[in-house]
Chain A
Amino acid sequence: MELAGVATVAGFVLGTLCAVGLRSGGGMARLCSIYVEAIRNTPLLVQIFLVYFGLASLGLRLSAFVVAVLALTINVAAYTAEIMRAGLDSIPPGQIEAGECLGLSRVQLYWHVLLLPAMERVYPALASQFVLLMLASSVCSQISAEEMTAVANHVQSETFRPFEAFIVLAGLYIVLSVLMRAVFWLLGLALFPRRRRLGTAL
């Protein structure tokens, strides 16, 4: 749970920075695009093992939780980068020009002019991606991170009633998904006051 939460926030920040990098042209853009393609074309489980064993071989001994957060963040950031880039690309160039003509710096332009409208345009895609991330966090049981699937596994090996244990688990995930969507809906209302005021749907 916190696993998915932390990874969502960190992944969004990292992914958005990466989206800006993708649009910047030059070496930075190439680097970002290699990262995004590498992540989007390999399975999450493999990425988790890579981070897990990679850090271990560097002599870093981190808790399974930290490793899981890292791996999930690296994963979701790549998808977020693609989504946010599409959002940023959909902003009319006249908006950027208007900002530049007012003397805004690059950073101010992204922060005040581009970020929110871009997010608004791809908000449903972003929300889905983060729900997917939450569901995918179940595979972190593979590196014995204490999360719901691991617990269910534990329960079924104690009670020898795997079907019931996993049915309960599935129910829990559904509840969590619905909750998460509700949270994103509320967050959307807070982030996009214009939508709230004009009553347009997201």
Chain B
Amino acid sequence: MTDKDPVVELRDVHKSFGALKVLDGVSLTVARGEVAVIIGRSGSGKSTALRCIDRLEVIDDGEIVVCGHRLTDAKLNLRALRQDVGIVFQSYNLFPHLTVAQNITLAPVSVKRVSRAEALETAQAVLRQVGLQDKADAYPEQLSGGQQQRAAIARSLAMKPKVMLFDEVTSALDPELTAEVLRVMEDLAASGMTMVVVTHEMSFARRIADQLVFMHGGRVRETGPGDILLDPQTPELRQFMSHELHAATR
């Protein structure tokens, strides 16, 4: 694989929930090591697009290829796909009956069949990466929201995914906790991880994005480097940005 090989590729993807058309011909290519940031109004289909990439939703039409897995293939190996893709949600979804370390080692041990000792070593490494090295033995409910979200990121990283998906991972957090989670994501991006990020944090989006994708009404309305936020070409993005600015200064 060269650096230009796409890790994630969506071609003319369509998806409806009943009569509601949520994705209306979305195309998107994310190269290895690239960070794509998806922004857009509530209901514009950002989460759905992300969920389609991990085959949590099955698309109606079009094509998605992720790390060489053709998602529309009848013979798709779903569990192999899920090992290549890490996903983190707004609600952290840590397993409450397991400690942080157990949360992190569960999948490597039972899915990848690595030894417990090796999994623990990996757990320590990823916990250090997210700044939680002293929380290995805590239960999720003993952690703050920001710490839980970082633990959830660590749990995904322990599977050594080729691409990480983030769906508004800071939306449930207050500004201080948001900052610590965003810092972890920036470090991760700097380390060369391929990422697709859905976020409402505009300055973060601009900072981290190699490719910024503005979705509107189930379509990609505008795309380009992070700086397109400074000079929107479409009225929709202009309106969205002024709205976000108002929201930020309120």
Contacts and interface: CB of A to CB of B under 8 A. Distances in A.
Are the chains A and B members of one assembly? yes
B27 to A, nearest CB: 24
A198 B83 contact: no
A95 B95 contact: yes
Interface residues of A, number: 22
Given A94-B91, A113-B95, A192-B97, A197 B111 contact: no
B111 A101 contact: no
A105 B82 contact: no
Contact of B83 (A103, A116, A194): A103
Given A103-B111, A103-B159, A98 B142 contact: no
A10 to B, nearest CB: 25
A14 B159 CA distance: 34
Interface in B165-188: none
Given A103-B79, A105-B79, A113-B95, A198 B139 contact: yes
Given A94-B91, A101-B87, A197-B139, A116 B107 contact: no
A99 B95 CA distance: 9
Contacts of A105: 79, 111
Given A103-B79, A103-B159, A105-B79, A97 B93 contact: yes
Given A97-B56, A198-B141, A198-B142, A102 B93 contact: no
A164 interface: no
B193 interface: no
Interface in B42-87: 54, 56, 79-80, 82-83, 85-87
Given A117-B97, A120-B97, A102 B106 contact: yes
A117 B159 contact: no
Given A102-B106, A104-B107, A95 B139 contact: no
Assign chain B's interface to a size class: 20 to 34
A198 B82 CA distance: 33
Nearest to A197: B139
B111 to A, nearest CB: 4
Interface string A183-195: 0000000001010
Contacts of A117: 95-97
A102 B111 contact: yes
A120 B107 CA distance: 22
Contacts of A113: 95
Contacts of A198: 139, 141-142
A108 B110 contact: yes
A97 B91 CA distance: 11
Q: Which of A97, A101, A120, A192 has the most CB of B within 10 A?
A: A101
B169 to A, nearest CB: 13
Contacts of B112: 103
A92 to B, nearest CB: 8
Contacts of B15: none
A89 interface: no
B93 A98 contact: yes
Interface in B105-152: 106-107, 110-112, 139, 141-142, 152
A192 B106 CA distance: 17
B91 to A, nearest CB: 5
Interface of B: 54, 56, 79-80, 82-83, 85-87, 89, 91, 93-97, 106-107, 110-112, 139, 141-142, 152, 155-156, 159
Interface of A: 92, 94-95, 97-105, 108, 112-113, 116-117, 120, 192, 194, 197-198
29 contacts: A94-B89, A95-B93, A95-B95, A97-B93, A98-B89, A98-B93, A98-B94, A101-B56, A101-B85, A102-B107, A102-B155, A102-B156, A103-B79, A103-B80, A103-B82, A103-B107, A103-B111, A103-B159, A104-B106, A105-B79, A108-B111, A112-B110, A117-B95, A117-B96, A194-B96, A194-B97, A197-B139, A198-B139, A198-B141
